[in-house]
Amino acid sequence: MASRVLEMRFSNELGRMTTIRLPDVKEPFTGTEAASLMDAIIARNIFTSTGGDLVAKETARIVITDVSELELI
């Protein structure tokens, strides 16, 4: 079964990268939607990190993982 996770990377106040992951992202999910979501997270100051508040969006990507269960004999 494949899972889709949206990974968003932000810069924080100290210039370090912080990653936020959202599981089960809908398909299709566009770069425009990711940018809007990231802008809202920064504007509303929803999350903080050990390096301070999130101040800039860096990258976004969807990671698809396919898992196959193995039968143990």
Asked whether residue 38 is assigned to any structural domain, the reply reads yes
Q: For the chain, how many structural domains are there in total?
A: 1
Which tokens is 35 given? 């940018």
pTM: 0.86
pLDDT at 9: 98
Band (72; pLDDT cuts 50, 70, 90) = very high
**Residues spanned by the domain of 7:** 2-66
Q: What average pLDDT does range 4-26 have in this prediction?
A: 96
Asked whether residue 72 is assigned to any structural domain, the reply reads no
Among 4, 11, 62, smallest CA distance to 33 is for: 62
Residue found by looking up tokens 């100051």 in the block: 45
**Is residue 48 over pLDDT 90?**
no
**Is residue 14 over pLDDT 80?**
yes
Asked whether residue 23 is assigned to any structural domain, the reply reads yes
